[in-house]
């Protein structure tokens, strides 16, 4: 496993996303991932699977401290006390007394950023989380969160794949020592049959999924959390550290497209 170091913190480059994983499928996927060497797991209050994620981590043959665990506060919790209460509930479901990273899942236009960030900071001060961050915040929202947080914002978790390369936000994150965590790196499956990724895969003897994930993590300041419930795919998604795309190939792969980005989100919402 390779790591991205940000604010002197080492974050595994590849983690496991768990959106739309439920019950024993989720427990088995997290257990398999840890067994294969994953040390970074991403969940959220909204995924309804914190209990299964926690059980898999507890039953794993590695210590809790070895796993970088993220959860996210659902934005309907918008007051300080509601946020703190929800974090205690998350920790009870996860069966742990801390997470490594606590994010606010989405900006909430009717919540006061100052109150939200102060709740996350208090959760950190109380030892409920090691680090804090945000998700789905654009550059202005991220700046405002940074201004209102007592502690540094470790990451902004956003959609990031060849059709949504987030160039401006990534430039800002790099310049300000903020990690960009790439979600839906495979465009929720939309990158798997891409012609350019398939052609490059043939060159490197890799699958289109591997070329996509390599492209994602070859960006400085970026880690990613692909989701898979298949042992073969989980294994494949880790096997991306033995080849390097050229600068020209990196440019070729990035093709911003609102339609493909929208389709990725649409597939995610439909669960297909």
Residue closer to ligand NAP, measured from CB, 52 or 237: 237
Catalytic, 98? Answer no
Does residue 204 belong to the site contacting ligand NAP (CB under 6 A)? Answer: no
Does residue 50 belong to the site contacting ligand NAP (CB under 6 A)? Answer: no
Does residue 19 belong to the site contacting ligand NAP (CB under 6 A)? Answer: yes
Identify the residue among 145, 225, 238, 240 touching ligand NAP (CB under 6 A): 225
Q: What angle in degrees, to the nearest 10, is found between the helix axes of 195-204 and 208-217?
A: 90
Does residue 192 belong to the site contacting ligand NAP (CB under 6 A)? Answer: yes
Identify the residue among 26, 84, 186, 240 touching ligand NAP (CB under 6 A): 186
Does residue 226 belong to the site contacting ligand NAP (CB under 6 A)? Answer: yes
Q: How far is the CB of 72 from ligand NAP (least distance, A)?
A: 6
Residue closer to ligand NAP, measured from CB, 61 or 270: 270
Cα distances from 268 to residues 188, 189, 217, 241, in angstroms, run: 6, 9, 22, 27
Does residue 155 belong to the site contacting ligand NAP (CB under 6 A)? Answer: no
Contact 234, 225 (CB under 8 A): no
* Residues known to be catalytic: 47
Judged by the rule CB under 6 A, the positions of this chain that interact with ligand NAP are 17-19, 42, 105, 135-136, 157, 183-189, 192, 209, 225-230, 233, 236-237, 268
């Amino acid at each position: 496993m390779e790591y991205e170091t940000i604010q002197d913190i080492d974050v595994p480059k590849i983690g496991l996303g768990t959106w739309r994983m439920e019950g024993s499928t989720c427990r088995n996927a997290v257990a398999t991932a840890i067994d294969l060497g994953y040390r970074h797991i991403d969940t959220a209050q909204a995924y309804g699977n914190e209990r299964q994620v926690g059980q898999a981590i507890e039953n794993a043959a590695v210590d809790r401290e070895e796993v970088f665990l993220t959860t996210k506060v659902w934005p309907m919790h918008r007051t300080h006390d509601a946020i703190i209460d929800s974090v205690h509930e998350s920790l009870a479901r996860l069966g742990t007394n801390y997470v490594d990273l606590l994010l606010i899942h989405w900006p909430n236009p009717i919540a006061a950023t100052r109150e939200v960030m102060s709740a996350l900071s208090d959760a950190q001060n109380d030892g409920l989380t090691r680090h804090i961050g945000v998700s789905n915040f654009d550059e202005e929202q991220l700046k405002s969160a940074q201004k209102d947080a007592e502690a540094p914002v470790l990451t902004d978790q956003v959609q990031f794949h060849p059709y949504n390369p987030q160039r401006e936000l990534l430039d800002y994150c790099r310049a300000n020592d903020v990690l960009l965590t790439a979600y839906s790196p495979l465009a929720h499956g939309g990158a798997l049959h891409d012609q350019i990724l398939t052609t490059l895969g043939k060159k490197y003897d890799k699958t289109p999924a591997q070329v996509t994930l390599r492209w994602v993590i070859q960006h400085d300041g970026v880690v990613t959390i692909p989701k898979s419930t298949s042992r073969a795919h989980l294994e494949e998604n880790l096997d991306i550290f033995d080849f390097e795309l050229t600068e020209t190939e990196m440019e070729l792969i990035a093709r911003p497209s609102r339609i493909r980005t929208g389709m990725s989100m649409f597939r995610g919402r439909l669960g297909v």
